[in-house]
Amino acid sequence: MTKMKKTRYRRFGRSGVSTMIGGIIILTLFLTALTAMVLISQQYDRYQTILDSMSQQDVDRLSENLNFPYPGLSNSNSSAECSSCIQYNMIVSNLSGVGTQVARIYITQPNSAAYPLIVLNPSSTASPYTFSSGSSFINPGEASHQVIFWLPGVNPNITLVSSYPEANTISVVTTRGREFSFQWPFPPAGAAVPTGSTVDMGPFRISIDPNMITYTTTSPGPTSPGPAGCANMDPSPTPCLAGGLYNPFPAKGIVFYVKLYNLGGSNIILEDKSALIAHQYPATAAGNPFPFYVGQPMSQSCYNAYFAASYFDGSWTNIQGNTCPTPSSIGGYNVTYPTPVCSVGNPCYNIPSGPALGQPGQEEYVLFAANQMRGTTPNTLAPSSTYEVSLALYYIYNGYEYSMTLPLLDVSTGT
């Protein structure tokens, strides 16, 4: 028994020392690893914070959205704050949800040999080649904010050319690094056309000029709108009702002509569903639609007479039909998708493309009159009423069917 006790005591004694040493070793190793892990975690956290911060900056940068509404710039020949300057006010709308600070403005003048590039920096005082730092911040959602900048007005006198096509490119750089540009003066929509301005929709260009809409009389030959948009119908009132479309009672049929260009890369064939739709706006009731469906192209002799009488501007059309429309009769137009039949007996509007994509082809006068699809009787408008007229075009382009609607004009009729 005595021997056993001694042995147990000795064994326990050794275990105590080794356990303590082993524990210390393990604890030391664990603490070393833990310290390293804590340090690495802290560094990763710092890295992650930077990552989040820069990601937010990227989001803010991409959120910036400046827009330059018409007219883009306005200028005054002199500046109250800077006597030797020409002051310009740049109109900017901030369409984004983040405030935007303008850092620099670049103006490129392609036709100025002496000053092809102008660089403007922010300044708290008015001086040449600067913009007002006080006006350089655009609040989120702020519309038509004015950023003021100054160009030298004396030695040299730099006045931006304000006529197109000698347009200036104005680039606005923000402090976040985005760049927004616009041309000043604003270019017209599309290339130059004979007169007036234009509206481009899809492959179509609709020319807005005095001869865009013409009207029939009893005898062949339309009447161009007179002063204040007054159209003389037969019998013509004397004087014509200014601003009104005179329509005698009983009402007579009306033939509208709309001048179209093709900007696409291939021909466009109009379908018989195309129409001018006049929506009536009576004083006290829901208005009726008055459709004027597309009619058959005119005969060559009729076109010749209209061009000769200057009812139509331009020169020649390559689309001819067999009839000369009157307020009581037109040729029915029968062209459908997907198999349009265009023949001498059934002429269709096959509007030619231009020399290249985006350039207008030969202008074409399209006739709208029929009171029903493929009809031969021109529709009428009720007297003493007002109408909002939309142009609905259905057409075949590159073998596919398309359509579009354009609010075109307002019409009022006399008594």
Partner 1 sequence: MGRRARRKLAVSTVVANLLMIGLTLALAAILVAWAGTSFGSLSSGSQLFFAQRGEALQERLVIENVFFSSNTASNHTIMIFVRNVGEEQISLVAIYVNGTSLSPTGSGGWLCTGSLPVTLVVGAVCEFSVQWGSTWVSGSLFDIIVTTAMGNRATITVEGP
Nearest-approach distance from CB 414 to partner 1, in angstroms: 56
Of the two residues 10 and 407, which places its CB atom closer to partner 1 in the complex? Answer: 10
Q: Is 189 in the site for partner 1 (CB under 8 A)?
A: no
Query: Distance between CA 402 and CA 270 in Å, rounded?
Result: 10
Of the two residues 101 and 301, which places its CB atom closer to partner 1 in the complex? Answer: 101
* Residue 142 contacts residue 101 (beta carbons within 8 Å): no
Q: Is 357 in the site for partner 1 (CB under 8 A)?
A: no
- The binding track of 14-43 with respect to partner 1, each residue x by CB under 8 A or -, is x--xx--x--xx--xx--xx-xx--xx--x
Strands (E), 243-359: 256-262, 268-270, 275-280, 289-294, 350-351
Of the two residues 44 and 249, which places its CB atom closer to partner 1 in the complex? Answer: 44
Among 63, 67, 171, 377, binds partner 1 (CB under 8 A): 171
**210: cis peptide before it, omega within 30°?**
no
- The binding track of 100-139 with respect to partner 1, each residue x by CB under 8 A or -, is ---xx-x-x-x-----xx-x--------------------
Query: Distance between CA 281 and CA 381 in Å, rounded?
Result: 12
Among 16, 46, 77, 195, binds partner 1 (CB under 8 A): 46
- Give residue 327's identity as a one-letter amino acid code: P
Of the two residues 181 and 266, which places its CB atom closer to partner 1 in the complex? Answer: 181
Residue 390 has which token pair?
């939309």
H or E segment at 171?
strand 168-174
* Residue 258 contacts residue 391 (beta carbons within 8 Å): yes
3-state secondary structure of 407: strand
Nearest-approach distance from CB 140 to partner 1, in angstroms: 19
* Residue 85 contacts residue 94 (beta carbons within 8 Å): no
* ∠ CA 257-258-264, rounded to 5°: 145
Cβ within 8 Å of residue 320, ≥6 positions away: 297, 298, 299, 300, 303, 347
Nearest-approach distance from CB 142 to partner 1, in angstroms: 22
Query: 49-78: which residues touch partner 1 (CB under 8 A)?
Result: 50-51, 53-54, 57, 61
Residues making contact with partner 1 (CB under 8 A)? 14, 17-18, 21, 24-25, 28-29, 32-33, 35-36, 39-40, 43-44, 46-47, 50-51, 53-54, 57, 61, 103-104, 106, 108, 110, 116-117, 119, 171, 173, 175-177, 179
